[in-house]
Amino acid sequence: MTLSHADLFAATIGNFGGDDTIVASNFKTGTTSSFADDILTLTNGAASAEIHFNGSYVAADFAVTASATGTTVKFV
């Protein structure tokens, strides 16, 4: 799933797993992430996005990689 404006994404993602991937295309190199209370937060400077998940997840379930083309979130 590609989120062109991850900072505006307001839905909750369910059944995230397997080979699922999210690309936050407007969060590029320098983006950091944190996970708490079923919310993955991406931050780059003053911009932030909260991606809500429905399910039993922990921070170690996500591999987050930022690049010049966007930030990729993979289930691991």
Structural domain count of the chain = 1
Rounded to two decimals, what is the model's pTM?
Answer: 0.94
Tell me the residue range of the domain where 60 lies: 2-75
Beta bridge partners of 74: 21, 63
3-state secondary structure the chain: CEECCHHHCCCEEECCCCCCEEEECCCCCCCEEEEECCEEEEEECCEEEEEEEECCCCHHHEEEEEECCEEEEEEC
Kindly give the confidence (pLDDT) of every residue in the chain, 76 residues in length, as a single tens digit, with 9 standing for 90 and above. 999 999 999 999 999 999 999 999 999 999 999 999 999 999 999 999 999 999 999 999 999 999 999 999 999 9
Please give the single-letter amino acid code of residue 57.
Answer: Y
